[in-house]
Amino acid sequence: MVLGLIERGAKLSVAEEIEHRPTGEEYEAAFNYLENDYLFIVQCGRLFERFDTLAKDVQLNFSLRIGAYIHTFTGRAVEKKRGGMVLVEQLSEIQTFNRRQFDRDEIRVPINVFSVPKNETADTGVAPDYEQVISDTTFDISAGGFCIITNKHLDTKHDPDYLAKFALSEKEAFQLPAEIMRRSIYQRTSIGRYDFGFRFIFDTMPEERDRLLRGIVNRKLTTLKR
H or E element at residue 203:
none
For the entire predicted model, the pTM comes to 0.54
Residue 80 pLDDT grade (very low, low, confident, very high; cuts 50, 70, 90): very high
Q: Is 85 in contact with 60 (CB distance < 8 Å)?
A: no
Spatial distance between the Cα atoms of 40 and 81, rounded to a whole number of angstroms:
11
Q: Is residue 150's pLDDT more than 70?
A: yes
CA 219-106-204 angle, 5° bins: 70
Q: Is 31 in contact with 40 (CB distance < 8 Å)?
A: yes
Spatial distance between the Cα atoms of 103 and 99, rounded to a whole number of angstroms:
10
Among 92, 86, 91, CA closest to 30: 86
Q: Read off the pLDDT of residues 33-79 as tens digits, 9 standing for 90 and up.
A: 999 989 999 999 999 999 998 877 888 989 888 766 778 899 999 99
Spatial distance between the Cα atoms of 61 and 13, rounded to a whole number of angstroms:
8
Residue 122 pLDDT grade (very low, low, confident, very high; cuts 50, 70, 90): low
Domains of the chain, with CATH numbers? Answer: 3-98 (2.30.110.10), 110-225 (2.40.10.220)
Half-sphere exposure of 127 (CA within 13 A, CB side): 12
